[in-house]
Amino acid sequence: MLAFLLKRIGLLIPTFIGVTIAAFSFIRLLPGDPVLLMAGERGLTPERHAQLLKQFGFDRPLYEQYFEYLWGAFNGDLGNSLVTKKPVLTEFFTLFPATIELSVCAIIFATALGIPAGIIAGIRRGTTFDHSVMGTALIGYSMPIFWWGLLLIMFFSGIMKWTPVAGRISLIYFFPPVTGFMLIDSLLSGQKGAFTSALSHLILPTIVLGTIPLAVIARQTRSAMLEVLSEDYVRTARAKGLPPIRVIAVHALRNALIPVITTIGLQVGVLLGGAILTETIFSWPGIGKWMVDSISRRDYPSVQGGLLMIAAIVMIVNLIVDLMYGLINPKIRHTG
C-alpha cells in the first residue's frame, strides 16, 4: 500500500509543477504589456510604467520570475487582487466555504437520488421504471445547466413565489461568519428563521448543480448493477436459495458500488466547473462567480491564483479518490 501511495504522489508532482507553470504563464500569455493591461484605461506615464515593471519583476528573466512566483505560492502568497487590493488567497478562502457548502449539498442530492434510482433501474431492467429513469438521466446529462437554473427561478421564484431568487440568506439576517457555512452559521446565530432562510436559498442552486452528477451517478449505478448481477457469485447466491433482497443488498450492491464511489469522487471537477454557471445565475458569492467576475474585471492576479488553487484542489481530491479505490480494490493497488 505504501508503495502504491508513493507512486501515486510521485505521479502527481510533475503534473503539479505543470499546473504552476500554466498558472504562471497565464498573465504572460495575455496579449500586450502586462503592466498596461493592469493599468487599464487610465494609461501610465513612462516613469510609472518602468517603476511598475520593476515592482512586479517583469524586467527580470522568465525563469527567475517563475521561481519567485513558485516560492511565493508555497508561502501562501499569490499576489494581490487588482480590484480589492487584498491578498488573492484571503479572498479565495473567504469565498470558498460558500462553494463547498453548495457542492456538498449538490453531491448529497445527486447521491441520495441517483444511487437508489440506479439500483432499482438495474434490478428492474427493461421495465417502464427503468426506461423512465434512464430517459430522465439522459435529459439531465444533456441539460444546459445555466438554462435549467433560469427555468427553475422562473417557475419556483417567479410564478410560485416559493424560493428566493439570489444570494445565500435574506438581507434581514446578519451575523458574523464563524465557519463560513451559512447553514451552520445560521443555526449558531440563534436568530429565528435564519436557518430556514439559508436553506430556502440553497435549494435551487443545489438542484441545478446536482443535476449532471445525478444523471451520471444514476447511469453508472445502473450499469454497475447490471454487470454485477450477471456474475457467477450472484447466481450461486441465488441458487443457494438466499432471499432476493439479501442477494442484492449484500452480494451485488457491495461490489457494484465500488465504481460508483469512484464516479462520485471524480465529480469534484464537474462540480467546480458547474459552480461557475450555477453561482453566476444565483448570485451565489463563491469562487465560481468570483472567477467569472475576475475575468470580466480583468483582475488577472485573482484569475491566476484561482486557477492554481482550484487545480490543486481537484488534484488532491482525485488523489484521495484514487487511494481510496486502491484501498477498496486490491487489484488496482498491485497492478497500478
Partner 1 sequence: MSEATLATEVIDKRKGGLIGQLDEFWRYFRENRGAVGGLLFFLFICLVALLADLISPFGPYEQFRDALLVPPLWEDGGDSRFLLGTDAVGRDILSRLIHGSRYSLFVGCIVVSLSLIVGITVGLIAGVVGGTLDTIIMRLMDIILAFPSLLLALALVAVLGPSLTNAMIAIAIIQQPHYVRLTRAAVLGEKNKDYVMAARVAGVGRARLMFVTILPNCLAPLIVQAALSFSTAILDAAALGFLGMGAQPPTPEWGTMLADAREFIERAWWVVTLPGIAILLTVLAINLMGDGLRDALDPKLKRS
Task: Write out the residues near partner 1 by the rule CB under 8 A.
Answer: 11, 14-15, 18-19, 22, 26, 29-31, 138-139, 141-144, 146-148, 150-151, 153-154, 158, 269-270, 272-274, 276-277, 280-281, 291-292, 295-296, 303, 307, 310-311, 314-315
CB of residue 86 to partner 1, shortest distance in Å: 21
Phi, psi for residue 212 in degrees, rounded to 5: -70, -45
CB of residue 158 to partner 1, shortest distance in Å: 5
Nearer to partner 1, 194 or 209 (CB): 209
CB of residue 20 to partner 1, shortest distance in Å: 10
Nearer to partner 1, 1 or 151 (CB): 151
Nearer to partner 1, 186 or 220 (CB): 220
CB of residue 93 to partner 1, shortest distance in Å: 18
First to last CA, the chain: 11
Nearer to partner 1, 151 or 187 (CB): 151
CB of residue 98 to partner 1, shortest distance in Å: 17
CB of residue 156 to partner 1, shortest distance in Å: 11
CB of residue 212 to partner 1, shortest distance in Å: 10
Q: How far apart are CA 136 and CA 151, in angstroms?
A: 17
Nearer to partner 1, 195 or 290 (CB): 290
CB 168 within 8 A of CB 201: yes
Q: How far apart are CA 266 and CA 246, in angstroms?
A: 29
Nearer to partner 1, 154 or 178 (CB): 154
Nearer to partner 1, 19 or 321 (CB): 19
Nearer to partner 1, 66 or 173 (CB): 66
User: If DSSP states are collapsed to H, E and C, what string results for the chain?
Assistant: CHHHHHHHHHHHHHHHHHHHHHHHHHHHHCCCCHHHHHHHHHCCCHHHHHHHHHHHCCCCCHHHHHHHHHHHHHCCCCCECCCCCCEHHHHHHHHHHHHHHHHHHHHHHHHHHHHHHHHHHHHCCCCHHHHHHHHHHHHHHCCCHHHHHHHHHHHHHHHCCCCCCCCCCCCCCCCCCCCCCHHHHHHHHCCCCHHHHHHHHHHHHHHHHHHHHHHHHHHHHHHHHHHHHCCHHHHHHHHCCCCHHHHHHHHHHHHHHHHHHHHHHCHHHHHHHHHHHHHHHCCCCCHHHHHHHHHHCCCHHHHHHHHHHHHHHHHHHHHHHHHHHHHHCHHHHHHC
CB of residue 240 to partner 1, shortest distance in Å: 28
